Amino acid sequence: MDIATLAGAVLLGVVEGLTEFIPVSSTGHLILLVDLLGFQGPPGRVFEIAIQLGAILAVCWLYRARLIGVALGMFAGGEDFRFARNVLLAFLPAAIIGFFAHGFIKGVLFSPWVVAASLIVGGVAILVIERNLKLAHHHVIENFPATLAVAIGFFQALAMIPGVSRSGATIMGALLLRVDRRAATEFSFFLAIPTMLAATTYDLWKNRETLTDEGMLVIAVGFIAAFVAAMLVVRVVVDFVARRGFTPFAWYRIAVGFLMLAILFSR
């Protein structure tokens, strides 16, 4: 195992942790960086998927009190049950679509060209949504109607296109459905837990025969780097979007998308 590969794994892990919970597409950034760096990770793009779980576990740790409370009280009905129900319902669309479309997504859509275009289109969409927001009607996750949770889940499924951004699609979809910023952002965090756990488990299982000890070491290094980076930014993200909104991220997406198109066309 050479130092350059491990250094690349650390860099990619940090980028994953910093971008997972903001609407700029962590997967898109990883695909672009892997292409630019010539990073040679485990086959099947499993590295880019697996290290996202490190960022998700940071959310589990930071919100551990709430998650433990939900786990202990979900079968007693009330708010804990409704919280768990809403997360599960929102998870189902991506789980079902992802199961049937997994091969097409990984084989066709994991491309720097797709990422660059998605970043630009998604950035424009965020600007339009932010400028046309209506008064929020939903402020507490536990009080979301079941139909609202399912609808947000279908928005999350759009993020199977690399560059769209899982958090971006979920949050923007929730805002369109008149959820307030803080609740939309936190719901995106919690929805990421079953979504990324399922995606990582499925990818590791599908690629189990091609994973070597060295490949697992590379994944572990990226995983730890993503966990540490996410621990540093999650709380900051919630406070930032509550005060400033998502417009800065939209302009960032557009700039990065055009920069990447310029680099790709120059090759």
Position 122 scores a pLDDT of 92
The number of domains in the chain is 1
Which of 86, 96, 53 lies closest to 192 in space, CA to CA? 53
Gap between the Cα atoms of 224 and 24, Å rounded: 21
**In sequence order, what are the residues at sequence separation of 6 or more whose Cβ sits closer than 8 angstroms to the Cβ of residue 25?**
19, 115, 118, 119, 122, 159, 162, 163, 164, 165, 166, 168, 253
Q: Please say if the pLDDT value at position 238 is more than 80.
A: no
Among the residue ranges 32-46, 140-154, 186-200, the one predicted with the least confidence is: 32-46
Please state the rounded mean pLDDT for residues 122-148.
91
Position 44 scores a pLDDT of 60
Which of 16, 30, 82, 62 lies closest to 224 in space, CA to CA? 16
The model carries a pTM of 0.82
Task: Kindly write down the DSSP assignment for every residue of 163-205, as one continuous string.
Answer: TS-HHHHHHHHHHHTTB-HHHHHHHHHHHHHHHHHHHHHHHHH
Q: Please say if the pLDDT value at position 105 is more than 80.
A: no
Q: Please say if the pLDDT value at position 255 is more than 90.
A: yes
Q: Count the Cβ atoms, other than its own, within 10 Å of residue 127.
A: 16
Gap between the Cα atoms of 130 and 92, Å rounded: 27
Q: Which of 75-79, 91-95, 147-151, 215-219 has the highest mean pLDDT?
A: 147-151
Q: Please say if the pLDDT value at position 241 is more than 80.
A: no
Gap between the Cα atoms of 50 and 100, Å rounded: 19
Instruction: Enter the tokens of residue 39.
Output: 């990073």
Q: Give me the domain span that covers residue 59.
A: 3-266
Instruction: Enter the tokens of residue 259.
Output: 């920069």
Position 1 scores a pLDDT of 58
14 vs 49: which has the higher pLDDT: 14
Gap between the Cα atoms of 192 and 173, Å rounded: 15
pLDDT, tens only, 217-230: 888 999 999 999 99
pLDDT, tens only, 177-212: 999 888 998 899 899 888 888 888 887 787 777 778
Q: How many residues does the chain have?
A: 267
